[in-house]
Amino acid sequence: MAISQKEEARALNDDERELVTRSHHPVLQDVPDKELSDLVKLMRERRDKAKTEANQRRREMRGKSSPKGTIASRADAGSKLKVAVLAMAMRRLNNEVERRRRMAARTSLVESAQRALAIKQAGKTEGPAFNTRHAHEGMRNVASKRRQNLIHPMELGRQRKAASVAQAKRDGR
């Protein structure tokens, strides 16, 4: 469910409202990477604090915990809304961080591919750049070091089957 900006403004204090406003999209794309990481850190702290307070209020309402003030909380709708607003802002920030990471990875991949192509094209006139077993005359046959088995595979199977039949007879006694 979407939360309107009017509800957001009602649920948050001035500092949190300013942070959440910076997490909305047209503004978010213009934020530099360093400020974005700071914003994520601040938003995560505020969200965790609000979540802890909401849990405390719920415990007070159930009677599991002593009241923080003079009387126990009667409702926690405001704290739930505050946690929801901060969680949505956190989700937007995480998506932006991930989008920037993917974009940087894609850019880096393209640069690496272009650099590799330039190296490959520069090295076409020369010989091989590294030493391989199959250079020039093809691969050489390497003889196997395993000893040759002289028993026919059919005989091995016959003996294995005879042993399993004999074991079955003994088990059946």
pLDDT digits (tens), the chain, 173 positions: 688 878 888 888 888 888 888 998 888 999 999 999 999 999 999 999 999 988 888 888 888 877 777 676 677 778 889 999 999 999 999 999 999 999 999 999 999 999 999 988 887 655 555 555 555 666 777 888 888 888 888 999 999 999 999 999 999 87
User: pTM of the entire structure?
Assistant: 0.62
Distance (Å, whole) CA 54 – CA 80: 6
CA-atom Rg of the chain in angstroms:
35
Q: What is the pLDDT of residue 120?
A: 85
- The domain spans of the chain are 5-122
Residue pair 66/40 in contact (Cβ under 8 Å)? The answer is no
Q: What is the pLDDT of residue 72?
A: 67
Query: What burial class does residue 88 get, using C-beta atoms within 10 Å of its C-beta: 0-12 exposed, 13-18 middle, 19+ buried?
Result: middle
